């Protein structure tokens, strides 16, 4: 069963009572020729996915949503949308808990109280008419944290006295926040996004471990390069650009 609504001035939201994966639905629609923009919201998601092929558990009351939209940006530049989405999630969280509790861990993990509360998965493909379709998948632990999580996680109610927002309320707030940051990105370019992301960054200037597939590096996270890569200063003074992988700071992973 599906229904549709439209946040004020934002893309329409298509609501599914149950779906395998909102990102999978975005891909199906894009490959069938739909361009968007449209938000796809799953009230129950049975086969959610996270980065690097990991499963993403979506408990009842949590947010599982994907924005499908077209872009003429080249692939490397279009990938920067993950930072735009992270800022939008940070704004969503900050609407319900003190902003000081919200931070962003490279590359795109929103944290609450230093623990993972959200995941972002960006996928893309070529449109027959030219350009790319982009699917920005967002999961947020609105109501409860995962039962079986490989890393320490949390949920909004831990820091709220009032009931958390419903998925529909949350996706409308997220849509508005994404539109604001996307407008910044389009008007001012990625440096403005990088500055805003850095202002919320978790762990900059701290020792960390970067796991890059077959390689593990230790160093100090110095900040973002102009394309979103993480600058990691190693013990010998060399700076490595980290473009993909997992980064761990102290006890927060």
In this prediction, residue 52 carries a pLDDT of 45
What number does CATH give the domain 207-248? 2.30.30.100
List the chain domain ranges. Answer: 2-199, 207-248
In this prediction, residue 251 carries a pLDDT of 47
Could you give the CA distance from residue 219 to residue 232 in angstroms, rounded to a whole number?
6
Interior angle at CA 137, CA 232 and CA 94, nearest 5 = 75
In this prediction, residue 2 carries a pLDDT of 67
Q: What is the value of pTM for the model shown? A: 0.89
Q: Consecutive sets of 10 residues in the chain, 253 residues long: mean pLDDT of each?
A: 66 95 96 95 79 56 96 93 97 97 92 95 92 96 80 91 96 98 97 95 89 88 89 92 84 45
In this prediction, residue 119 carries a pLDDT of 92
In this prediction, residue 46 carries a pLDDT of 85
Query: Which of 203, 40, 251 lies closest to 134, judged by CA?
Result: 40
In this prediction, residue 60 carries a pLDDT of 82
Q: Name the CATH topology of 2-199.
A: BirA Bifunctional Protein; domain 2 (3.30.930)
* 225-241 CB burial, b ≥16 within 10 A, e <16: eeebebbbeeeeeeebe
Could you give the CA distance from residue 247 to residue 108 in angstroms, rounded to a whole number?
11
């Amino acid at each position: 069963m599906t229904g549709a609504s439209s946040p004020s001035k934002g893309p329409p939201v298509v609501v599914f009572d149950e779906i395998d994966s909102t990102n999978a639905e975005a891909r199906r629609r894009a490959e069938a020729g739909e361009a968007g923009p449209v938000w796809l919201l799953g009230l129950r998601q049975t086969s959610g996915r996270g980065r690097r092929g990991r499963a993403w558990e979506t408990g009842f009351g949590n947010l599982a949503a994907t924005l499908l939209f077209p872009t003429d940006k080249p692939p490397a530049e279009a990938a920067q949308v993950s930072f735009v989405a992270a800022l939008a999630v940070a704004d969503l969280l900050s609407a319900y808990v003190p902003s000081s509790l919200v931070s962003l861990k490279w590359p795109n993990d929103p944290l609450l109280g230093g623990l993972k509360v959200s995941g972002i998965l960006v996928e893309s493909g070529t449109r027959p008419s030219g350009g790319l379709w982009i699917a920005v998948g967002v999961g947020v632990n609105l109501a409860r944290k995962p039962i079986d999580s490989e890393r320490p996680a949390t949920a909004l109610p831990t820091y709220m006295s009032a009931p958390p927002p419903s998925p529909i309320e949350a996706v409308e707030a997220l849509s508005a926040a994404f539109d604001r940051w996307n407008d910044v990105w389009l008007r001012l370019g990625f440096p403005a996004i990088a500055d805003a992301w850095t202002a919320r960054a978790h762990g900059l200037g701290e020792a960390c471990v970067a796991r890059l597939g077959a390689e593990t590096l230790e160093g100090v996270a110095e900040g973002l390069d102009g394309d979103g890569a993480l600058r990691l200063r190693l013990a010998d003074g060399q700076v490595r650009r980290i473009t993909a992988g997992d980064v761990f700071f102290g006890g927060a992973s």
